């Protein structure tokens, strides 16, 4: 028996592969390498001392997915593969809807053919939209997403819910991620975006490394303690362990569940900058810039459902996140 990780050489997928292998499960990775590097599979082997199978395929290619299922005894799918750049999704919405929905539907159809009934999905806090006050709980109404990327997450959650209603043997868990940052403590895998980073932490590490001149802090007039945006940053290794817990839960249950993966604590942009500078002894030059369109003031989770259902809680601190993010960046220099 093996678990298929689509997008398994990406940032969150690779950390989850490590945690699944360390927990004793066999792993098969499918990734088209459109946003990750082939050597990540070797790095996962190096960290864990275990082997895994790697397929360079697009999981909307039904024949390739069927062949993968023929060659491996897959008992569950953890589906990370997907486009994730918010701004790009506004400019190229059809590309996002086509890719993110097609991959999911193809996987679910092939799973149904083979009687594979466990599906874990990379959802996002973005499904809570702009009307709900933080902390977000899973019973809040979702939708009102601010961009096509967010809508693909919302639509896929609805697809999973419907599929579970129709098929009593299916178990689907949508994990609503808050803001994953940090890296594996080995420094061998981490967040490695193409081009200019959109997200805060890779921009900070590249600025500290001198690759970027300075960070732009997007707005200091939000209704938050220091005026900068507040987010629920979660160490990517804690997040990865949440997938192991979700997989175990899904193997013993049927139906659809949406579950937040966050710490429940919000930090501001300036909290992150200052903690990063203090923990790592480096400077992160910054300027205050205009608000970024579509950003919310304050986004953080209520993580109690994950604790109750999965027995999972975060363990790592903001200091750990900042130290491990910098360790990965230094390793890459
Ligand atoms: N920020 C800056 N400067 C930057 C980048 C970010 O000040 O150069 C600020 C943002 O304004 C925000 C915070 O840092 O206040 C975090 O921004 P990120 O871009 O790192 O993350 P977001 O919260 O905007 O986005 C994340 C995920 C998305 C997801 C979204 C909503 O990256 O995939 O949460 O859940 F859709």
User: How far is the C-alpha of 127 from the C-alpha of 129, rounded, in Å?
Assistant: 5
Nearest CA to ligand 1 atom 19: 199
Say how many Å lie between the CA of residue 299 and the centre of ligand 1. 10
Tens-binned pLDDT, residue by residue, of the chain (333 aa): 999 999 999 999 999 999 999 999 999 999 999 999 989 999 999 999 999 999 999 999 999 999 999 999 999 999 999 999 999 999 999 999 999 999 999 999 999 999 999 999 999 999 999 999 999 999 999 999 999 999 999 999 999 999 999 999 999 999 999 999 999 999 999 999 989 999 999 999 999 999 999 999 999 999 999 999 999 999 999 999 999 999 999 999 999 999 999 999 999 999 999 999 999 999 999 999 999 999 999 999 999 999 999 999 999 999 999 999 999 999 987
Q: Is 268 in the pocket of ligand 1 (CB under 6 A)?
A: no
Say how many Å lie between the CA of residue 159 and the centre of ligand 1. 26
Q: Who's near 19: CB < 8 A, 6+ residues apart?
A: 237, 240, 241, 243, 244
Q: Is 179 in the pocket of ligand 1 (CB under 6 A)?
A: yes
Q: Is 264 in the pocket of ligand 1 (CB under 6 A)?
A: no
Q: Is 97 a catalytic residue?
A: no
Q: Is 261 in the pocket of ligand 1 (CB under 6 A)?
A: no
pLDDT value of position 333: 78
Using an 8 Å Cβ cutoff, are 107 and 65 in contact? yes
User: How many CB atoms are closer than 10 A to CB 284?
Assistant: 18
Q: Among residues 11, 128, 136, 149, which one is catalytic?
A: 149
Q: Show the tokens assigned to 65.
A: 């997915």
Using an 8 Å Cβ cutoff, are 183 and 327 in contact? yes
Nearest CA to ligand 1 atom 32: 199
Say how many Å lie between the CA of residue 68 and the centre of ligand 1. 35
pLDDT value of position 332: 87
Nearest CA to ligand 1 atom 15: 229
Using an 8 Å Cβ cutoff, are 323 and 252 in contact? no
Using an 8 Å Cβ cutoff, are 186 and 324 in contact? no
Ligand 1 binding pocket mutation candidate from 269, 271, 288 (most atoms within 8 A of CB): 269
């Amino acid at each position: 028996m093996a678990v298929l990780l689509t997008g398994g050489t990406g940032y969150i997928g690779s950390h989850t592969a490590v945690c699944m292998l360390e927990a004793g499960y066999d792993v098969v990775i499918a990734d088209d390498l459109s946003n990750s590097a082939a050597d990540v599979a070797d790095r996962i082997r190096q960290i864990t001392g275990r082997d895994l199978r790697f397929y360079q395929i697009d999981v909307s290619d039904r024949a390739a997915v069927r062949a993968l299922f023929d060659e491996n005894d897959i008992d569950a799918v953890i589906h990370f593969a997907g486009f994730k750049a918010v701004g790009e999704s506004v400019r190229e919405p059809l590309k996002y809807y086509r890719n993110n929905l097609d991959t999911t539907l193809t996987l679910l159809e092939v799973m149904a053919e083979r009687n594979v009934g466990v599906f874990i999905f990379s959802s996002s806090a973005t499904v809570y939209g702009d009307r709900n006050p933080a902390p977000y709980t899973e019973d809040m109404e979702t939708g009102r997403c601010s961009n096509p990327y967010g809508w693909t997450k919302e639509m896929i959650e609805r697809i999973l819910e419907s599929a579970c209603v129709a098929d009593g043997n299916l178990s689907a868990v949508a994990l609503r991620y808050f803001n994953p940052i940090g890296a594996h403590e080995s420094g061998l895998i981490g967040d490695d975006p193409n081009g200019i980073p959109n997200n805060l932490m890779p921009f900070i590490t590249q600025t500290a490394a001198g690759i970027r001149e300075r960070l732009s802090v997007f707005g200091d007039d939000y209704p938050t303690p220091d005026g900068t945006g507040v987010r629920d940053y979660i160490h990517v290794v804690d997040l990865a362990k949440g997938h192991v817990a979700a997989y175990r839960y899904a193997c013993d249950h049927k139906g659809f569940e949406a579950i937040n993966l966050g710490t429940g604590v919000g930090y501001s942009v300036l909290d992150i900058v200052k903690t990063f500078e203090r923990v790592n002894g480096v400077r992160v030059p910054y300027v205050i810039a205009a608000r970024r369109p579509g950003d919310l003031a304050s986004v953080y989770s209520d993580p109690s459902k994950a604790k109750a259902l999965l027995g999972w809680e975060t363990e790592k601190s903001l200091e750990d996140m900042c130290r491990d993010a910098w360790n990965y960046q230094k390793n890459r220099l």
